[in-house]
Amino acid sequence: MHDHGRRLDADRRALGGALALVLGFAAVEVVGGIVAGSLALIADAGHMVTDAGALALALAAVWLAGRPASPQRSFGWRRAEVLAALANGAGLVALAIWIFVEAGRRLSDPTAVRAGWVLAIGLAGLAVNVAAVRVLHRAGSGSLNVRAALRHVLADLISSFGVIAAAAVVLATGWERADPLISIGIGVLVLGSSGAVLRESVAILLEATPGGISAEEVGAAMAAHEGVVEVHDLHIWTITSGFPALSAHVLVEAGADCHRIRLDLDGLLRERFGLDHTTLQVEHRPGLVTLAR
C-alpha cells in the first residue's frame, strides 16, 4: 500500500511537470500553425493539445487512484488510471483520423506555407517535447496511465521531426505538398502509438490474465504442490497497473494441513509469479467415513 502511494506521488509530479511544458507550448504551435498556413504544424499543434488533455486526464486519474477504499469501492478508485489510459488511446485515434481527412483536402488543394515560421516553431517544439519525455521517463512508473501519457508525448516528439522535415523540403524546393504528405506520416505514427495502450487497457477492463503470466503454468504449479489434489475456479486478473490478483479453490488431501498448504501456496505465487494479492479457498477432499459399532 505504501509502495502504491509513493508511486502515485512520483506519477503526480512527473505528469504535472510534463503538463506545464506541453500546455505552455501548445498555444504557441496553434497560433504559429494558423499564421504559417502549415498543416504539418497544425497537426503537431493538435497533437500537443491532445497531449495536454491526456496529461491533465492522467493527472486527474492519479488523484482519484489515491483516494481511500470504502465499503462501496473495496479497491478504491484505482481503475480510474486504466479508464484514463483508454480515453487517451481513443483520443489518439480521433486525432489521426482528423489529420488524414485534412491532409487529403490539402493534397487536392495545396495551401501556401510559410516554411521559415514552421521550421522555427518545429525546432522549439522538439526541445519542449524532449524535456517532457525526460520528465515522464525519469518517473520510471509501471502505471499504464503514465505510459499512455508518455506515448502521447513520444509520438509528438517524433512528429516534431516531421514538421522540421516538411519545412526543410518546402524551403529547399518550394514543393508545398510535402507538408500534407508528411502530415499523413504523422497521422500513421499517432494511430500506431494508440494500439498498445488500447489493447492493454481493454484487457485490464475485461479482466484478462496479465501479460507475462500463464494461467496454465500457475495452475499446474499449484496442483503439483504436495498435498494438493486439484485446483479449480482459478482466476488471474489485474486491478490496475502493477496490481495483479488471483483467486482459486484448492482441494487437498483429507488429512492435509490446510493452513500450512495455503501459506506454502501464497509463498509460491508471490516468489515465482509475482502475485502478492491472492485469495485461496482451501478445502479437504472428502475421506472415507467409518461408522462406529
109-153 residue pLDDT tens: 776 767 787 788 778 888 888 888 888 877 655 677 777 778 778
pLDDT tens by residue, 214-240: 999 999 999 999 999 999 999 999 988
Q: Which residues contact 37 (CB under 8 A, 6 or more apart)?
A: 111, 112, 113, 114
pLDDT at 288: 46
**147 in Cβ contact with 53 (< 8 Å):** no
CA torsion through residues 74, 80, 81, 82, sign? positive
**78 in Cβ contact with 66 (< 8 Å):** no
Q: Where in the chain is the domain with CATH 3.30.360.10?
A: 215-284
Nearest of 229, 276, 280 to residue 251 by alpha carbon: 229
Q: Where in the chain is the domain with CATH 1.20.1510.10?
A: 2-205
**215 in Cβ contact with 266 (< 8 Å):** no
For domain 2-205, the CATH superfamily is: Cation efflux protein transmembrane domain (1.20.1510.10)
pLDDT tens by residue, 193-216: 788 888 888 998 998 999 889 999
pLDDT tens by residue, 239-280: 887 789 999 999 999 888 999 999 999 999 999 999 999 999
Please give the CATH number for the structural domain made up of 215-284.
3.30.360.10
Rounded-to-integer distance, Cα 12 and Cα 204, Å? 22
